[in-house]
Structure 1
Amino acid sequence: MNRRHFIRHRPFSTLLVVLLIALLGWVWHERVALWTFPDIISAYTAKEYCSCRYVMNNDAAYCQGYVKQWLAFSGFTDDSASKRVTVSGMGRSNSAVWAGERQGCRLQP
């Protein structure tokens, strides 16, 4: 069976292989951005919740609704004594802490 025969008699299989190769090429090209994506979810949620709660002085229930996302996080801790918020999701964990009135909230390394 030669190549022309395969393409002519199996057009959907050929198209699928071409699309798979294109997808793998795109994933390789965007590998750095795709690797950091899980950090973005927990970091964004921690920072925005901290700002909503401790900079804007909103109540906890309002701020939880404010940061609700389509991709749910697996862990959430709001330590009001130290004004520190820790969020875990997609295998990563990030914390934000209130640094003061002028500085607002900052992500912790």
Structure 2
Amino acid sequence: MIRRRPWLTLLLLLVIVLIALAWPNRAHLAAFPDIIGAYTAKEYCSCRYVSGNPAAYCEGYVAQYVPIGSLLDDTAGKRVTASGLGRTHSAAWLGARQGCQLLPND
């Protein structure tokens, strides 16, 4: 089979190696989508309301290789909501001493 179909054999071997690497880390891989939205909401909130930077600067500050779906900045309530990879997270400014904190998901 290897002589007749070398590319198919190589592809099959690659798939087996990827599965062998992913299986022990499946819990970490399942948590990854939550990290994108939570990181963006928390860091944008801290950049904007704790450090007092302008919105355009903070959008560039939290930019990542994995794009986010939406970023909503409620300036009146000092609350930020970010969506990425199908998950949505919010962070709110609590005060000068507490800074920003992630809010529990509903």
Structure 1, unaligned runs of 5 or more: 1-5
User: Does 1:102 pair with 2:78?
Assistant: no
- Give the Cα separation in 1 of the matches to 2:7 and 2:50: 56
TM-score, structure 1 length as denominator?
0.85
- Give the Cα separation in 2 of the matches to 1:42 and 1:12: 39
**What amino acid is aligned across from residue 39 of structure 1 in structure 2?**
D
The offset of 1:37, in angstroms, is 0.8
- Kindly tell me the number of residue pairs found equivalent between the two proteins: 104
Correspondence for 1:77 among 68, 72, 76? 72
Question: Normalized per residue, which structure has more helix?
Answer: 1
- Give the Cα separation in 1 of the matches to 2:80 and 2:11: 45
TM-score, structure 2 length as denominator?
0.88
Correspondence for 1:64 among 59, 67, 77? 59
Structure 2, unaligned runs of 5 or more: none
Report the aligned-residue RMSD.
1.4
The higher radius of gyration belongs to: 1
Instruction: Using the aligned pairs only, state the percent identity.
Output: 59
Correspondence for 1:45 among 40, 43, 48? 40
The offset of 1:8, in angstroms, is 4.7
Correspondence for 2:19 among 24, 36, 43? 24
- Give the Cα separation in 2 of the matches to 1:104 and 1:24: 41
The answer to which of 12-21 and 78-87 deviates more is: 12-21
The offset of 1:10, in angstroms, is 3.9
